[in-house]
């Protein structure tokens, strides 16, 4: 896939990182595909924040487009 992107002058894909994961996770919350639960746990290290757990919503189980491209689902004008 990176070869095809390079041929048309696009930047090659890089490996996912925490920032990209965090952005997608944020969009999934906005779309209502996931929700926070009441479950919390202490982090393994004192300097880290408490662990928060999430679950799929009914909408998240049925949704397809939001998982593929959450930004375009919220903002179809970008497409």
Q: How many CA atoms lie within 13 A of 24 on its CB side?
A: 9
Residue 63 DSSP class? -
- What is the predicted pLDDT for the residue at 71? 87
- Hunting for tokens 């919503």 — which residue is that? 57
CA distance 13 to 7: 13
Answer with the residue of higher pLDDT: 5 or 63.
63
Stretch 31-44: mean pLDDT, rounded? Answer: 96
Q: Collapse the DSSP code of 51 into the 3-class scheme (helix H, G, I; strand E, B; otherwise coil) and give the result.
A: strand
C-alpha–C-alpha distance, residues 11 and 56, integer Å? 33
Span 14-38, mean pLDDT? 90
Identify the residue with better confidence: 69 or 11. 69
pLDDT for 20: 84
Among the listed residues 64, 55, 7, the one whose alpha carbon sits nearest the alpha carbon of residue 34: 55
pLDDT band at 1 (very low <50, low <70, confident <90, very high): low
pTM to 2 decimal places: 0.71
């Amino acid at each position: 896939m990176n070869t095809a992107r390079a041929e048309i002058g696009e930047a090659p894909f890089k490996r996912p990182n925490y920032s990209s994961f965090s952005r997608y996770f944020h969009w999934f919350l906005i779309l209502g595909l996931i929700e926070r639960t009441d479950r919390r746990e202490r982090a393994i290290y004192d300097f880290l924040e408490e662990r928060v757990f999430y679950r799929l919503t009914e909408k998240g189980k049925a949704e397809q487009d939001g998982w593929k491209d959450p930004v375009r689902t919220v903002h179809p004008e970008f497409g």
